[in-house]
Amino acid sequence: DAGVIQSPRHEVTEMGQEVTLRCKPISGHDYLFWYRQTMMRGLELLIYFNNNVPIDDSGMPEDRFSAKMPNASFSTLKIQPSEPRDSAVYFCASSSPQAKNIQYFGAGTRLSVL
Amino acid sequence: AQSVAQPEDQVNVAEGNPLTVKCTYSVSGNPYLFWYVQYPNRGLQFLLKYITGDNLVKGSYGFEAEFNKSQTSFHLKKPSALVSDSALYFCAVRAHYGGATNKLIFGTGTLLAVQP
């Protein structure tokens, strides 16, 4: 398996623009997680899905952030409008009970909002 | 409140010496504990986990961790450090909210620097 695949790896955009981050989980995994990592705040869980349904979105910072999982093999995290304070590395991870609940992380998307 | 604490922001050790990265936890129910490692510009990688059984858990790259219930600790150890072990290490515990979830609570991370 190729592991969790995230795209793009790097994104540079201007304040106010819409940003869409993409994630393909490991095939067969039924949990998908979105995290944000910054120097100031460390690793934060934004939202997670089980069987494509959002279970806990309490970490989503504000209404500018939204996440969807239209099917078992694809998820998006959208920021609209983006702000400089959204600059961070965003990680997607997937897991399953069959994988003993170990979360497998993608390589991340480094977002810079100018 | 459920939490994980990594009291050291950075640990420095000479190559060949033993290393310990500390972690303490607070969680309701039986703890499921994890260690992850993050190399520069990479995602987190699973190292090892404790669910039940032997208190000493062995993982990848020669790492091991000791579960201590009375001290609520799960310290990461390695008998002989390598320069290539230099990375950011995260301890995590599975959250319980009236039952187990798949949500992990991560510590703030400890930067391990191994000097040649």
Nearest to A43 among B46, B90, B101 (CB): B90
Q: What is the mean pLDDT of chain B?
A: 92
Residue of chain A minimizing CA distance to B43 = A107
Dihedral of CA B22/B27/B31/B36: which sign? negative
Q: What is the DSSP letter of A40?
A: T
Q: What is the pLDDT of residue B99?
A: 57
Substitution target in A35, A103, A110, A111 with the highest count of B β-carbons within 10 Å is A103
- What CA–CA distance (Å, rounded) separates A113 from A82? 7
Q: Does A108 score more than 90 pLDDT?
A: yes
Nearest to A107 among B42, B51, B109 (CB): B42
- Higher-confidence residue of B96 and A89: namely A89
Contact A18, A83 (CB under 8 A): no
Tokens of A44: 């934060």
Substitution target in B4, B48, B93, B104 with the highest count of A β-carbons within 10 Å is B104
Q: What is the pLDDT of residue B31?
A: 87
Nearest to B102 among A91, A101, A105 (CB): A101
Q: What is the pLDDT of residue B95?
A: 76
Q: What is the pLDDT of residue B97?
A: 63
| Average pLDDT of the segment spanning B86-115 | 86
Residues constituting chain B: 116
Q: Does B85 score more than 60 pLDDT?
A: yes
Q: What is the pLDDT of residue B52?
A: 84
Tokens of B10: 């950075």
Verify whether the Cβ–Cβ distance B103 to A45 is below 8 Å.
yes
Assess A102–B contact: CB distance below 8 Å, yes or no. yes
Among candidate residues B39, B28, B107, the one with its CA nearest the CA of residue B74: B107
Report A:68-87 residues touching B (Cβ under 8 A): none
Cα dist from B28 to A98, B62, B94, B99, whole Å: 24, 30, 10, 9
Among candidate residues A92, A102, A111, the one with its CA nearest the CA of residue A47: A92
| Average pLDDT of the segment spanning A59-87 | 95
Q: Does A99 score more than 80 pLDDT?
A: no
What are the respective helix, strand and coil percentages of chain A, to the nearest 5? 5, 55, 40
* Cα angle for residues B69, B50, B88 (degrees, 5° grid): 100
Nearest to A42 among B34, B49, B109 (CB): B109
Q: Does B100 score more than 60 pLDDT?
A: no
Contact A68, A34 (CB under 8 A): no
Sequence-distant (6+) residues with CB within 8 A of B98 are: none
Q: Does B34 score more than 70 pLDDT?
A: yes
Assess A56–B contact: CB distance below 8 Å, yes or no. yes
| Percentage above 90 pLDDT, chain B | 78
pLDDT tens per residue across span A21-58? 999 999 999 999 999 999 888 899 999 999 999 999 99
Reported as a pLDDT band with limits 50, 70 and 90, residue A62 is confident
Tokens of A21: 């981050």
Substitution target in B4, B47, B93, B102 with the highest count of A β-carbons within 10 Å is B102
